[in-house]
Amino acid sequence: MRQSASLLLVLCLVVAGAVPPVAAGATESHSATESTTPAPSAAQAPTNNTTSEGTTLTLLSYNDIQTAAAQDGTFPRMVHLINQRRAAHENPTVVVGGGDQVSPHSLSPLSQWRLPVKALNVLDPAAEVIGNHDLDYGFDAVANFSQQSEFPWLMANIVDSETGEPIPGTKPYTVVEREGVKVGIVGVADEKIQSKTAVDFDQQGYELRNYSETASEYATMLKQEKNVDVVVVSAHLGVPVAKTLANTTENVDAIVVGDDEIEYPPQETGGAVIMEAEARAEHVAELNLTVENGEVTAWNGRLLDVTENVSKNETVSNIITEARQERLNDVAGRTEVALDSRFASNYHDETALGNMITDSFRSQTGAEVAVTNAGGIRSNEVYGPGNVTVGDVYNILPFSNTLVTVELTGAELEQLLASQVVTLESETGQNYGVESQLQVSGVTYEWVGHENESYVRDVWVNGEPLDEDETYNVTVNSYMAGWDGSVLEDAPRVSESHMLYGTALLKYIQQNSPVAPEDTDRIRRVDAVTEVQSVSVRKGTATVSLDAPNGTTDVVTGSFYAVRGDSGEHLEADSVSLEDGRVKVRFENSEYRKLAGEGGQLQIYGEYDTSAYERVYFEHSVLNADFEASDSGQKKGHQKDGKKKGGKKKGHQKNGHDSLAPITQASATPITAA
């Protein structure tokens, strides 16, 4: 944003004593940015038009419609709200999208991009940018949905490696004129788009150029050669990268952001106003720019909520309803438990839904193990108990991913599990807490969310300790099978099914209805490893005494249990107490003897509170101790060697994240030495 002329005028007036001094930019930047601000009616809205101080241009934006595209909810309401805001202004208005609009949604596996494009044509934006999910159907599909779109799709920094030409069906920029105001719009993405898509850029002959240099080059050209008044960059790269873009480019006035799906009311960075409207048509960003002599001199903006009080656009609503009636409204089966597809739940921990999804993979392929990435589970909703429709299933698993079975050694399988752990020390961990990021079947393991020699421990495959030299058939989705640099990329292919991963789940529900999947502790978070000091039996109670982890302030009643490593059989503790630096875990002795059997490895897990660090996501920390036990209830010492097989416990989930300190053993042996 260029404010030199107005600032010079203010400076002259201050020097002359005509006006009191003010902070630079204070009169140019006015932001009404509360995200909870209700959408005003057209009658209430301000009408900004050409004045002696310039012309007001209104920019309206949205991004990451994704699963909302096939739901008769926020999407038709968003279209109505945008049209309402268009009508509320007598000044010129431009609508720009921030990418990820044609995928994923519940009709993606059946009709791909057709439904969202048909609805977007009703909205009639000035331009859209290509996001990573807009490449879910491959590069060739871009030309197809672009041809059916009544607006341009932009992407300036993905070009043909040999010719430098953009992806067929896209343009690097477009220029629109509204009531005498010329607006140039440029589309860019950052390097993460390559790792977030299933397409191979190199194999397809495309290269990704620097987003900042490209945006600056086109913005300067648009100002100098096309004589535009305002330059808008539609950038599918998230707010943090958008700030870098703003600070490293010239001639950019506004940045419409997509990708990280956050509420970011219009805010100025480096002379450009950045805004993002979260996702799934839940918000609209509105920015009013004052334009004088080809320069932006002031702005104000806010986010508008798309609530149930907003009417639906009837045309878009009918498009979605008709498409759903054709394919999605049939009942697939019933669930007796809630199916949690929320992002936070599936990224941070095992879920019952995740277990059923991966179980469905194995039921189709017969593999020993199945693994799926949390990012492939969408919709961010909870379903049931009750009927589950075909649309629900494809809303949960909306991509066109198929099932691929590969052969991995035990060591490679362990490496795959560890590769997805997000540690506290990482940028993501600092923002959201530690994450395991996978859902699994046929395998159980512990994971450690800290910088560590090993992020995964105690791995068991179908009741047997992991053998690093053994080979296992592992089913994953086709997106994972192409992960660059992972053990999956070059793994021998056992089979490649043309069955969609969503169809695998659909068939599983149809064949097993009513379903009641459980969280069976396949993925076990551990925050502290401690030692069992004694096991005693008195008056029908077996008491296991553990060293309390450093900083323990309390233990969580009802969270402690013992588990056999070989069978995964659980026994809930009757009670637990914290006494003089020891955690006393008590079991009914006859049940404990049954669990111990003729001996074998037992593990104890339980939740505790600590003063050693602050928690952000998980409500409590988790301790673990393992030992050899016989049916007499007497402890046999068990020395950890860092490669124990099996065991896990995870903590309660809340809407927050867990900031975890490095794990230490209560006996002063750090877990990093294991």
Give CA–CA dist 320/76, Å, rounded.
Answer: 9
Write the burial class of residue 23 (CB in 10 Å: 0-12 exposed, 13-18 middle, 19+ buried): exposed
Q: Is 644 helix (H, G, I), strand (E, B) or coil?
A: coil
Backbone angles phi, psi at 362, to 5 degrees: -65, -35
Residue 133 confidence (pLDDT) above 90? yes
- Using pLDDT thresholds of 50, 70 and 90, give the confidence band for residue 481: very high
pLDDT of residue 1: 54
Q: Is 95 helix (H, G, I), strand (E, B) or coil?
A: strand
> Distance between CA atoms of 382 and 106, rounded to whole angstroms?
15
Tokens of 474: 């592992």
Residues in the chain: 674
129-137 mean pLDDT: 95
H helices present in 17-107, as ranges: 74-88
Does residue 376 sit in helix, strand or coil? helix
Which range is most confident: 21-35, 299-313, 394-408, 551-565? Answer: 299-313
DSSP three-state, residue 638: coil
For the cut 90, the answer to whether the pLDDT of residue 663 exceeds it is no
Element (H, E) at 464: strand 464-465
Among 140-149, 448-457, 499-508, whose mean pLDDT is lowest? 448-457
| Sign of the alpha-carbon dihedral angle for 304, 307, 312, 318 | positive
| Count of alpha carbons within 13 angstroms of residue 387, beta-carbon side | 8
How do residues 213-232 score in pLDDT, each as one tens digit? 999 999 999 999 999 999 99
Beta-strand ranges (E) seen in 501-567 are: 523-525, 528-529, 532-538, 541-547, 552-555, 561-564
For residues 303 and 301, give the distance between their C-alpha atoms in angstroms, rounded to a whole number. Answer: 7
Percentage of the chain modeled with pLDDT above 70: 84
Helix (H, G, I), strand (E, B) or coil at 38: coil
Q: Mean pLDDT over residues 60-88, rounded? A: 96
What gap in Å lies between CA 593 and CA 490, rounded to an integer?
A: 47
Q: Tens digits of per-residue pLDDT, 637-657?
A: 443 333 333 333 333 333 332
The answer to whether 361 and 367 are in contact (CB under 8 A) is yes
Per-residue pLDDT at 434: 78
DSSP-based three-state secondary structure for 302: strand
How far is CA 135 from each of CA 141, 197, 302, 313, rounded to the nearest angstrom? 8, 7, 30, 27
Q: What is the per-residue pLDDT for 94?
A: 98
Give the closest residue to 125 by CA, choosing from 258, 247, 298.
Answer: 258
114 is written with which tokens?
């057709």
Give 19's contacts (C-beta < 8 A, 6+ positions apart): 10, 13
pLDDT digits (tens, 9 = 90+) for 600-622: 789 999 999 998 877 778 889 99
> Could you tell me if 207 and 214 are in contact, meaning their C-beta atoms sit under 8 angstroms apart?
no
8 A C-beta contact, residue 647 and residue 511: no
Min mean pLDDT across 347-351, 491-495, 611-615 is at 611-615
- How much is the average pLDDT of 432-459? 86
Using a 10 angstrom Cβ sphere, with 0-12 exposed, 13-18 middle and 19 or more buried, the burial of residue 508 is: buried
Question: Exposed, middle or buried, 453 (CB in 10 Å: 0-12/13-18/19+)?
Answer: exposed
Helix (H, G, I), strand (E, B) or coil at 26: coil
Q: Which amino acid is at 36?
A: T
Contact call for residues 191 and 238 (beta carbons, < 8 A): no
Mean pLDDT across 364-371? 97
| Average pLDDT for the chain | 85
Pairing of the two strands 254-258 and 272-277 = parallel
The closest of 391, 289, 383, 400 to 338, measured between CA atoms, is 383
Residue 187 · residue 172 · CB < 8 Å? yes
Coil vs helix vs strand at 641: coil
User: What distance in Å separates the CA atoms of residue 637 and residue 563, rounded to the nearest whole number?
Assistant: 17
Contact residues for 502 (Cβ-Cβ < 8 A; gap 6+): 109, 393, 394, 396, 397, 398, 399
Higher per-residue pLDDT: 610 or 565? 610
- State yes or no: pLDDT of 667 exceeds 60: no
Which whole-number Å values give the CA distances from 286 to 44, 53, 497, 589, in the listed order? 15, 20, 46, 66
Helices assigned H by DSSP within 379-520: 390-396, 410-419, 427-432, 478-481, 501-512
Q: Exposed, middle or buried, 61 (CB in 10 Å: 0-12/13-18/19+)?
A: buried
Rounded-to-integer distance, Cα 329 and Cα 388, Å: 9
Please state the separation of Cα 624 from the chain's center in Å: 29
Percentages of the chain per state (helix, strand, coil), in multiples of 5: 25, 35, 40
Mean pLDDT for the stretch of residues 409-436? 83
pLDDT band at residue 429 under the 50/70/90 scheme = low
